[in-house]
Structure 1
Amino acid sequence: MSRSTFLHLRFPFSFFLLPVYLFALAVSGNDGQIEVWLIFFILHFLLYPASNGYNSYFDKDEKSIGGLKNPPKTEKELYWWSIALDALALLLGAYLSWRFVGLLFIYGMVSKAYSHPSVRLKKMPIIGWLAAGIFQGYFTFLTVILGLENMQFGDLLAWQWQIPAILSSMLLMGSYPMTQVYQHEEDAERGDQTISLKLGILGTFHFTGVFFFFSNMGFLAYFYLYFDWMTAAAFQMSLVPVMGYFLYWYLQVRKDPSQADFTHTMRLNLISSLFLNLFFWGVYVFGS
């Protein structure tokens, strides 16, 4: 594997997607060591990197992308590695169930459609936004639950799984446009009409702020009703650093739009992911 291919797989970027897995783990309460670690490995070391590499190969970005400030030129090797990692994810997933494999396959196909020139969901601002939010949130949450609990597809329709799955998507759909806010110039040159490009820089901040408020209210109600008031309060406390940095950055961007850059975006992603991961891991370890 070349250095270019390894960098474009962006393994560290999986940390930003870890909250959904940990949320599902906390809600399920599953303590089966094999299932817990196998699903973690499949998602964060195979499925997500495969998606990163595949999309990087077709995007051929020359400027900063998520988790990679100075992306090197992609090589054909990257394409084949992304396919190989996808195949290995499906192979290992078969240990759990064919249903789990089916959901992994669907996720992989949708993620490929995001950048493949024959479909390129990235060109469609609303559909691309919905696809990213639903599949990285709602769909991934239910995939993890199905893998952990080895249940039937119909069992996933229970409200105990549907409510947190919907909340996962609300969180992703609010934060996703922020990951595109520094890419407007390159996206416009390539003809990709992302939702952030349509909203504009300040519009992206306002959109995220509104979504963040409503998703926050939803999470608070969920943890209060399904866990207890202390868990709900702890969730709110975990978001204080995120809200603080978001407000600080927003004020900076109002003065100088060039501050909507890669460094600030990755810093927000890191802060939010870190504190959400700590919170969800705490809920899983200490229970309700």
Structure 2
Amino acid sequence: MFKKATWLHLRIPFSYFLLPIFLFAISLSPNLNESGLLWLFVILHLFVYPASNAFNSYFDKDEGSIGGLKNPPKVDKNVFFIAQAFDTIGLFLALYFFQRNWTLAAMLLVYVLVSRAYSHPSVRLKKYPLLSWLIAGFFQGAWVVWLVYIGLNDFSFTSIFKPHILIPGFLASAILWGSYPMTQVYQHEEDSKRGDITLSIKLGVLGTFHFTAICFAIASASYVWYFASYHELKYGLHFLLALSPVLLFFGWWYLQVRKSATAADFKNTMRLNFISATCLGGFFLYFFLNSSGILNVAGAY
């Protein structure tokens, strides 16, 4: 039986921060199978993402705060074993509930292997600032969007190269490429001890804020263009409206950090993550319900 400390390193609530990607992905699907939606959510958010967190915890052995845990307990071999178990269960569920969808299983396996390469000392992608930034944003964003699309519809891998699927994938990554360095901004000392020179360390504390602001501006403009080109402009305007609480908090936090770099701490980072995930998740849920016609059907009864 695993100890409480072992379970804590799964950081299951932290999966909430990736929920907007899933909601965006399901809004692209022409087939809305309730069972498929449920099981893809469970596989990703309750097994694969937590397994990645535990695997990362085991090899990082952080003593300071990490994403989702202010005071992480010491890791032992059980953390490694639970990561293995959760990845295995996630892959088994994909094979069982999405029978013959080998493309989905293969994409899920690739995600697991890349997440391990991110932390494992034999590869340790995390120590390469630009490469880890690109890979983390790509696989947690675009790859997951395409994985969910293929899983729900049982399409071939080549289906993701259609512009109306390819572009949203990269838009999902664009948001993560902007936010990724912010998740590292309070860990400079801890990462430096291990020799992981992250992108946030390279940019510096204020540089990380400036970089994120530029990335979010580009990503926001790209989302507006996408919604205007492939759906309706109103969705682009609603997207900007949904982001306004994020921008307000980000601006307030930036001013605090200009006064004192100590404000770039765990507490404010988690606040930004929560506000961003809630606002984006709310928007993508609204977009999913509207674009799929579910609200129209519900309104008819």
Task: Classify the TM-score, shorter chain.
Answer: over 0.9
Task: Give the partner amino acid of 2:199.
Answer: I
1:122 is aligned, of 118, 121, 126, to 126
* Cα-to-partner distance string for 1:211-257 (whole Å, 9 max, x where unaligned): 00000000011112222122111111100000010011001100100
- CA RMSD in angstroms, aligned pairs only: 0.9
- 1:29 Cα deviation from its structure 2 partner: 4.8
Superposition deviation, residue 279 in structure 1: 0.7
Distance 2:141 2:254 in 1: 25
1:104-147 residue CA offsets vs partner (Å, 9 max, x unmatched): 10000010011111010111101111110111111111111110
| Matched AA of 2:84 | I
Letter in 1 for 2:222: G
TM-score by length of 1: 0.98
What corresponds to 2:285 in structure 1?
281
Choose which of 208, 215, 219 in structure 2 pairs with 1:211: 215
The 8 Å contact of residues 181 and 261 in structure 1, kept in 2 or not, is answered as yes
**2:6/2:75 contact within 8 Å kept:** yes
Match status 1:37 vs 2:38: yes
Aligned to 2:9: 8
Match of 1:179 in 2: 183
AA matched with 1:14: S
Q: 2:168 corresponds to which residue?
A: 164
Q: Matched residue pairs, number?
A: 288
- Give me the whole-angstrom Cα distance separating, in 1, the residues matched to 2:32 and 2:125: 37
Q: Structure 1 CA distance, aligned partners of 2:195 and 2:33?
A: 46
Q: Does 1:136 align with 2:140?
A: yes
Which residue is 1:231 aligned to? 235
Q: What residue is the counterpart of 1:271 in the other structure?
A: 275
Structure 1, residues 160-192: CA drift from partner, whole Å, max 9, x if none? 100000101111001000000000011111110
Is the CA contact 1:9–1:52 (under 8 Å) kept in the aligned structure 2?
Answer: yes
1:75 to partner: Cα distance = 1.6
Counterpart residue number, 2:245: 241
Instruction: Work out whether 1:150 is the aligned partner of 2:157.
Output: no
Q: Give 1:253's aligned amino acid.
A: V
Alpha-carbon distance in structure 1 between the residues aligned to 2:192 and 2:133? 16
Whole-Å Cα distance in 2 between the matches of residues 30 and 152 of structure 1? 15
**Equivalent position amino acid for 2:19 in 1:** L
1:170 and 1:215 in contact (8 A); partners too: yes
The normalised TM-score by structure 2 is: 0.94
CA-CA distance at 1:287 after TM superposition: 2.1
Aligned to 1:112, which of 105, 110, 116? 116
Distance in 2 between residues matched to 1:127 and 1:228, nearest whole Å: 35
Contact 1:64 1:71 in 2 (8 A): yes
**1:286 deviation in Å?**
2.3
Partner of 1:25: 26
User: Hey, what's the Cα distance between the residues in 2 that align with 1:30 and 1:231?
Assistant: 21
Aligned to 1:261: 265
Contact 1:246 1:268 (C-alpha < 8 Å) held by counterparts: yes
The offset of 1:149, in angstroms, is 1.1
Q: Which residue matches 1:198? A: 202
8 Å Cα contact 1:20-1:137 kept in structure 2: yes
| SS in structure 2 at match of 1:9 | coil
* Paired AA for residue 274 in structure 1: T
**Unpaired runs of 5+ in structure 2?**
293-301
The aligned residue for residue 71 of structure 2 is 70
Secondary structure, in 3 states, of the residue corresponding to 1:77? Answer: helix
Quick check: 2:250–2:272 contact (8 Å CA) kept in 1?
yes
Q: Per the alignment, in what secondary structure is the counterpart of residue 27 of structure 1?
A: coil
Distance, in Å, in 1 between the alignment partners of 2:223 and 2:30 is 18
